[in-house]
Amino acid sequence: MNNIICQFQLIIAQKINKLIYTVLNFRPLKGLISEEWYVRSDIKKALGILCMIWNVLKDIIWKAFYFILVIIVPNSLLAGGLGFEDNKALGNMFAWTFLICSCFMGTFTHSRIVTDGNEEDYLLLNLMRIDAKQYYLTRSLFQSASQTVYWAVAFLLIVGRICPGHTGVFLWVLLCYICCRPIGEAVSLKLCEYYDKIPYQDKSPKVQGGYYMYNFAMVLLAYLCYPVLYLLQSRLGDKHIQVFHPLFDVGRFSLGLQAVLLLILLVAAVVSVRYLRAYPKYLQVARICCGFARVTEKQKQAEGAGSIETKLENSLDEDEVPERLFPNKNGYDYLHAIFFERHKKLLRRPSQIKRWLAEGIFAVAALAVIVSRFVLSGAQFQSMSDSAWKAVNLLLPILVFVMYSFSSGEKLTQAMFFHCDASLLKYGYYRTPEAIISSFRIRLKYMLQTEVAFILTFCVGVFVNLMLLGRFRNMLQIVAILGCIVILSVFFSVLFLCMYYIFQPFTEAGNTTSVGYKACNIGVYVAAYSCLQLHTPPTYFAVLLLSVTVVTMVVGILFVWKLAPKTFRLR
């Protein structure tokens, strides 16, 4: 009991301190509370009680949501799709799915002992030196008990309303759940022993593959059992559209089967509990699962889960001995040439993918045009050509949005920051106005160069297809369309680079903090999206686009010249 109280106190204290810290550092609430709150035991006790109540409520709500979203909704959809709306069968379907998903899948693949870098485990086992066996056993027992209570409350709230008359079945499922928990823990430890490493978290294809296969099989069993039974029984000529699952729907036989299954699980649970109590290597498990290195690695992963840095792959191998590159280049030209060369996979890939995509689409389109020239009559081909031309005219505004979506400008600037500027901006020489402008100029040139292949592919693709369609008389409009493609490709690259230099929005922690940058980003998106609503002839559209983009680019570059020396800093 002491063990549980100690765990509780530590976890709650940690949560309250985090809460106080968050409020202290949340700007709109600045000054509302002071650092004194950290030492006010009365406030912390009150917050602790609120925290506990919230935790219980949160768990119950979460379980209710889980039951609705994972059990009720998919099964109702399945039943509706198949055409049987027998409420009794539906209730049993819910019980079956819960039994498989939560008892036979969840308990075996989500161990509370064999965790992966759990911070609480690390604090209590490695820092506080709590006895590992006692800790793991009491924690598992407490969590199983509390989870059972939460499930029971969730069932009372939902099952009683949606499928009355199924309380007994769900009580049986809950008993199965109680038995399955120690079995799951014992199996996890056994697997841990067998593989000499953490099962399910191991990266080896064998273990990982087994984990996925087991989960996949369980999901299939959970959701497809009733539909399969339904189809089988309807084939056998049962016209009443009623499903008989041996575990629930066959009267006394089902009751007997349930009793046998529960008995088997009970025996297995007793054996598992004995195994868990006798297991001698909890300390080793603690060292594997929640050692300092593993916990910090998990924390980094969690902190960076949504950050940009984790989205950027690291293309450098630290053991590689690279050759000396660009001996004839100097200074910033030399630096950026090496940067682009060493990160070419990362930086050129988006442009390459765009090019391949465009090549594929235009090749297929060209082939279709050539085939239709032979298959269709002259009049039919002309009609198709006119329709295609009309579509091209309509598609032009869409091109703005397509080009915006395809633009790799943002990804390129992120890569520049995390792989180059984040380190060099710490040094004064890299922050001088000359250095900033020089780097901007070199990068602008590079970004335009990377777009050349895509622009060429796109222009050639559009041109060839329109020529194949025989649109020679529309040459002026075609030139306007090609102009739009070139302008747009360049525009978004330049725009993102300018925005990066004006706002420098990224932090070393991998977040985007600048409000101005975010606002501009939204503005660009809205402007690109609004173009979808425009319906103008291509020539006018090209003129409009040219004016807007040239003005924006000139203004952007001027802003960079003026502002970047002051704003291009680490945040």
Partner 1 sequence: MRLVVDAIGKSFEEKQVLNGASFQFEKGKIYGLLGRNGAGKTTLFNCISQEIEYDEGTVYMEENGEKKDISYDMMGYAFSTPVLPEFLTGYEFIKFFLDINRDRIKDPRTVEEYAQMVGMELPDLDRLLKGYSHGMKNKMQMLCLLISKPPLLLLDEPLTSLDVVAAHEMKELLLEMKKDHIIILSTHILQLAQDLCDEIVLLHQGKLAGVEDLDCHDKGFEEHVMELLSQ
Candidate segments 128-136, 315-323, 383-391, 463-471, binder of partner 1 by CB under 8 A: 315-323
> Are 347 and 340 a contacting pair, CB within 8 Å?
yes
**Residue nearer to partner 1 on the CB measure, 30 or 562:** 30
**Residue nearer to partner 1 on the CB measure, 41 or 328:** 328
Q: Does 322 bind partner 1 (CB under 8 A)?
A: yes
The string of DSSP codes covering 327-386 is: TT--HHHHHHHHHHHHTHHHHHHHHHHHHHHHHHHHHHHHHHHHHHHHHS-HHHHHHHHH
Q: Which of 334, 381, 401, 559 binds partner 1 (CB under 8 A)?
A: 334
Task: Please give the size of the binding site for partner 1, defined by CB under 8 A.
Answer: 30
The string of DSSP codes covering 519-564 is: HHHHHHHHHHHHGGG----HHHHHHHHHHHHHHHHHHHHHHHHHHH
Q: Does 33 bind partner 1 (CB under 8 A)?
A: no
**Residue nearer to partner 1 on the CB measure, 6 or 422:** 422
Q: Does 36 bind partner 1 (CB under 8 A)?
A: no
Read off φ and ψ for residue 513, nearest 5 degrees. -105, -25
Q: Does 342 bind partner 1 (CB under 8 A)?
A: yes
Q: Which of 36, 42, 196, 320 binds partner 1 (CB under 8 A)?
A: 320
Q: Does 318 bind partner 1 (CB under 8 A)?
A: yes
Taking the complex as a whole, the smallest distance from the CB of residue 338 to partner 1 amounts, in Å, to: 6
393 burial (CB, 10 Å; 0-12 / 13-18 / 19+) is middle
C-alpha to C-alpha distance for 41 and 417, rounded to whole angstroms:
44
Which residues in 392-431 contact partner 1 (CB under 8 A)? 419-420, 422-424, 426-429, 431
Q: Which of 84, 339, 501, 517 binds partner 1 (CB under 8 A)?
A: 339
**Residue nearer to partner 1 on the CB measure, 332 or 389:** 332
Evaluated on CA atoms 150, 153, 155, 157, the torsion sign reads negative
> Are 257 and 109 a contacting pair, CB within 8 Å?
no
Apex 67 CA angle, 270 and 11, nearest 5: 65
The string of DSSP codes covering 189-246 is: HHHHHHHTS-TTT--SHHHHHHHHHHHHHHHHHHHHHHHHHHHHHHHTT-TT-----T
**Residue nearer to partner 1 on the CB measure, 192 or 420:** 420
Q: Does 331 bind partner 1 (CB under 8 A)?
A: yes
**Residue nearer to partner 1 on the CB measure, 24 or 64:** 24
Both tokens of 141, joined, read 């027992």
* 406 CA to centre of own chain: 20
Taking the complex as a whole, the smallest distance from the CB of residue 433 to partner 1 amounts, in Å, to: 11
Candidate segments 141-149, 323-331, 489-497, 540-548, binder of partner 1 by CB under 8 A: 323-331
Candidate segments 243-251, 255-263, 305-313, 318-326, binder of partner 1 by CB under 8 A: 318-326
Taking the complex as a whole, the smallest distance from the CB of residue 31 to partner 1 amounts, in Å, to: 10
Candidate segments 58-66, 181-189, 247-255, 338-346, binder of partner 1 by CB under 8 A: 338-346
Terminal C-alpha separation, the chain = 48
Q: Which of 53, 325, 526, 558 binds partner 1 (CB under 8 A)?
A: 325
**Residue nearer to partner 1 on the CB measure, 96 or 568:** 568
Q: Does 568 bind partner 1 (CB under 8 A)?
A: no
182: closest CA among 71, 94, 278, 255?
Answer: 278
Candidate segments 87-95, 319-327, 377-385, 559-567, binder of partner 1 by CB under 8 A: 319-327
Q: Does 382 bind partner 1 (CB under 8 A)?
A: no
Q: Does 441 bind partner 1 (CB under 8 A)?
A: no
Both tokens of 137, joined, read 């056993």
Taking the complex as a whole, the smallest distance from the CB of residue 91 to partner 1 amounts, in Å, to: 58
The string of DSSP codes covering 442-460 is: HHHHHHHHHHHHHHHHHHH
Taking the complex as a whole, the smallest distance from the CB of residue 42 to partner 1 amounts, in Å, to: 23
Q: Which of 228, 264, 270, 316 binds partner 1 (CB under 8 A)?
A: 316
Q: Does 324 bind partner 1 (CB under 8 A)?
A: yes
User: Which of 325-340 are b and which e, b meaning 16 or more Cβ less than 10 Å from the residue's Cβ?
Assistant: eeeeeeebbebbbbbb
> Are 402 and 532 a contacting pair, CB within 8 Å?
no
Apex 245 CA angle, 242 and 251, nearest 5: 90
Binding site for partner 1 (CB under 8 A): 316-322, 324-325, 330-332, 334-335, 338-339, 342-343, 419-420, 422-424, 426-429, 431-432, 435
